Amino acid sequence: MKELANRPLNTIFLIFFLLGHLGYSQHSNKLIATINEEAKEIGIQQEIQYYNESQDTLNALYFNDWANAYADKNSALAKRFSEEFKKGLHLAKEEERGYTKIISAVDFEHKGLDWHYTPGRDIIKIDLNAPLHPHSSVKLFITYRVKLPPNKFTPYGFSDNREYFLKDWYLTPAVYDGEWHLYSNKNLEDLFTVITNTTLEITFPKDLYLVSNFYESEKSNSGNKQQIILTGTDQKSAELIIGPTRRFTKHVTPGLTMVTDLESSRYDEISSGISINKISQFIQESLGEYPHKQLLVSEWDYNKDPLYGINQLPKFIRPYEEKFQFEMKFLKTALNSLIKETMFLNPRKENWVNDAIINYLMINFVEQHYPDQKLLGKLSSIWGIRSFHLAKMSFNEQYPLLHMLSARKNIDQSLTTPNDSLIKFNQKIANRYKAGLGLAYLADYTGKTQIDQSVREFYKFYKLKASTAADFKFIVVENSSKDINWFFDEYVSTTQKIDFKITKVIKTQDSLLVTLKNKQGTNVPISLFGIKNDTVVSKYWFTNITEEKTFHIPRNNEERLVLNYDQTIPEFNQRDNWKSLNGFFTSNKKLKFQFFKDAEDPYFNQVFYVPILSFNKYDGLSPGMRLHNKTLLERPFVFDFAPSYAPNEKSFVGYGNFNFRQYHGKSGLYVTNYSLRGSTSHFQKNSRYSTISPSIGFGWRPDNLLLNKREALIFRSVNVFRTIDNTLENNGLESDPDYSVINAKYINTTNNILNYLSWSVDAQHSSLFTKLAYELEYRKLFQNNTQFNIRFFAGKFVRNKTAGNTNFFSFALDRPTDYLFDYSYLGRSEGSGIYSQQIIVAEGGFKSKLEHPFANDWMATINSSVNLWRWIELYGDLGFVKNRGIKERFVYDSGIRLNLLTDYFELYFPIYSNNGWEISQPQYDQKIRFVITFSPRTLTGLFTRKWF
């Protein structure tokens, strides 16, 4: 009471308010489980006592059965995987699938209970035989078997090394607080269950070892089996790691016992123990006492949520000192485990609070113990790397960098977005970093001691108790001496950007008049620093700048003024954050040439250069130098030039591009893109083409970014200029050398690994022709793992002055002439040889080379394929070709397709077509066609599409 008497009145009120929320779990759970190693099953007898804490009478109860999420291809988990372009679970054999088999469900009177699965397939509804009144309990007895999946789909299940990784593997009560919160397993680590006292008796082979987040209270052996009794008081569910080796050690530190198998091969056991003690002390000072007997910190948990970024480089690179690497790895895993074991917020809708606390503490740990740690670690001192701005960044600057990676792409989502509505990059990285950075922002503005105190109080009063984000807000606001409602109203709840600039500075003898502009209108505080010789000589906070505002500050011999100098604030654009006070022209940024690509340096105009090597038959291997201003973060205006030297032609080729991208919002018409592109290369010996193409494009997308649905409307003018070697036969040209085409194209794409649908309408107009084309492509992966592909193309000339004179602008069956120079042909003018065998599936999309493959009136074709075994497919094409003055002609072909990597590397082997049995004809090797993509950007899209 003496301690309370010394505290402010609002804090005393806070304590009594919180005490009124205290309650203790009255749900209990008793399980008897037996592992059948041969069948990879767990037999379970479960006794559940459910206590109705609500004011409502319940006629049914819901239980999480997340082990059944692996049962079929229609579960919420399987659908989530399809959104992330993972098809392992969809293609799994029946014996690989996990499931739950309910044998019986009875009440305390041993009367049978009716039950059924909800549509997500991993939540069970059990109808009670009698109503459950408020503040009453009911006891249920359920017997079932859990078939475990292999751990290749998710980290859970069994491995080939007799290891078992079990989490959320038995029935747990769903949460009811006036409404049922029914969340399916989507591999997001966010089971929402009530606080329960659990006793688990598990039997498994004697030669295996078990560790758990529960406390081991009793152990016995019987023959070749062993029984262990585990207890968990006020915990969610039991996590078990079972394997043939004893690799976990117990570290008893003052106030906290940790069981871990985290280690570093180059960091000895004694040093590891010292680091664990340091981390334990830091956690207890930052949060308080851990209420359970032990904390499980496992390599398994770390691998599910590693230190993203440079930490994931191969081990032989080792960018960080072993001590730092181990401590950060251990700290993150320990904090994740501790918060999940003790805090009971809604993990699907309010997980940002946990993320904020965890990442804020990680920021604090580095500031306290490693203030000079660089983001690139030891790489920062290597010649050739140390000049990069990225090498000069501190370790904690990764938080705004990676959050801004999402914001600059306009795919950022608010912290209050439900966990299962976040794209993977935001769910795993960007939103977590923004949350932790937000608390650091608050600490810088309102005072670090106040935020540290709020975090400790929230943990103290709400550990092992149900809580909400509103409870966290109440504590933080009450402990702050400033108005911080902006943090929850704008920073947390929206994706509004923070962006300020210094528009004007007027100097007097003893003061400065500084005018600041809020470029985005987000009304949050902004910091202003006075810098002299790279040393901070003054710091101010300014608030309530809705548009533009002028402030009067004293003069302290500053050389320059910088907004957000310490980069605590996740500001959208820092390139206009500073003003020099040493002359009129000194605010102009200097030009800085750098090799490769770097992080954005706000104090320089950066130009990057990197050697490139391009190839086509006529130019040969063409070395060149690419010059651009693309940083690691996307920026609105980008220029990109790549001049190269073509040794075969002894001349220069290459391309240049100016691009300006304007984002409007998150959904609907979300982007407008303005571009001016030019290129020059050779299309025959001593024959050059050059293009200049201005364009404007509009993009649409839905509110739900996980749908991977996009629409685009593009208008462009393609202007082509050609020169030809006069010594070539027929001058090598089938049309006038120069021409212009106005092109409008609408594209609608839904990209999904189970159902891919894309269609487009294309209109082209020039002085020589007007044409329309429609294209549709659909891919379907069926329940029996058969994949079917179909593509339809129809094109019609509205007018065609070139008919009968040239086929240069005609529709083509198998190899478009590419008069717009959109395709990456290795030898675009070749009619024979290996280069002519390259195929780009466009227009007719045929794979066989048929006679008279062009249409100057109309063309309609269908291309289809179906897989026979894995990546071996049977394809078939058919269609009609119509030339003016000639009756339409029916065409077809068929063969085998090796779909090694769809759209990137494919081989086509013709079998039968209008040409007859091609497989029996001479020089068959010249009939084989191939698809190949060398574009690094296109290939990296294969790996990044699941993240963004």
CATH number of 219's domain: 2.60.40.1730
Give pLDDT < 70 ranges for the chain.
Answer: 1-25, 310-316, 583-588, 728-735, 935-944, 946
Q: Is residue 574 domain-resident?
A: yes
Is 83 found in the same domain as 155?
A: yes
Spell out where 469-566 has E strands. Answer: 500-507, 511-518, 526-532, 535-542, 548-554, 560-563
Q: Is residue 477 domain-resident?
A: no
Kindly report the CATH number assigned to the domain that includes residue 576. 2.60.40.10
Domain boundary among 191, 222, 246: 246
Is 561 found in the same domain as 607?
A: no
Q: Is residue 137 domain-resident?
A: yes
Domain boundary among 246, 266, 297: 246
Is 638 found in the same domain as 582?
A: no
CA distance 517 to 546: 8
Q: Is residue 421 domain-resident?
A: no
What is the structure's pLDDT at 113? 97
What is the structure's pLDDT at 366? 97
Task: State phi, psi for 352 to the nearest 5 degrees.
Answer: -60, -30
Is 872 found in the same domain as 844?
A: yes
Q: Is residue 175 domain-resident?
A: yes
CA distance 399 to 396: 6
How many domains does one find in the chain?
Answer: 4
- Alpha-carbon distances of 418 from 235, 246, 493, rounded to whole Å: 23, 39, 12
Is 707 found in the same domain as 567?
A: no
- The helix or strand, by DSSP H or E, that contains position 700, with its residue range, turns out to be strand 687-701
Is 220 found in the same domain as 129?
A: yes
Return all residues near 615 (Cβ < 8 A) that are at least 6 apart: 621, 622, 826, 934
Is 149 found in the same domain as 22?
A: yes
Q: Are 172 and 192 in contact (CB under 8 A)?
A: no
Q: Which amino acid, one-letter code, is at 805?
A: N
Q: Is residue 779 domain-resident?
A: no
Question: What single DSSP character describes residue 430?
Answer: I
What is the structure's pLDDT at 3? 39
Q: Is residue 680 domain-resident?
A: yes
Domain boundary among 531, 555, 588: 588
Is 678 found in the same domain as 569?
A: no
What is the structure's pLDDT at 659? 98
| Of 298, 313, 211, the residue nearest 262 (C-alpha) | 298
Please list the residues that pair with 32 across neighbouring strands: 45, 201
Is 938 found in the same domain as 819?
A: yes
Q: Is residue 461 domain-resident?
A: no
Question: What single DSSP character describes residue 75?
Answer: S
Q: Are 117 and 99 in contact (CB under 8 A)?
A: no
Is 571 found in the same domain as 620?
A: no
Is 559 found in the same domain as 683?
A: no
Question: Containing domain of residue 741, as a range?
Answer: 600-750
Is 605 found in the same domain as 535?
A: no
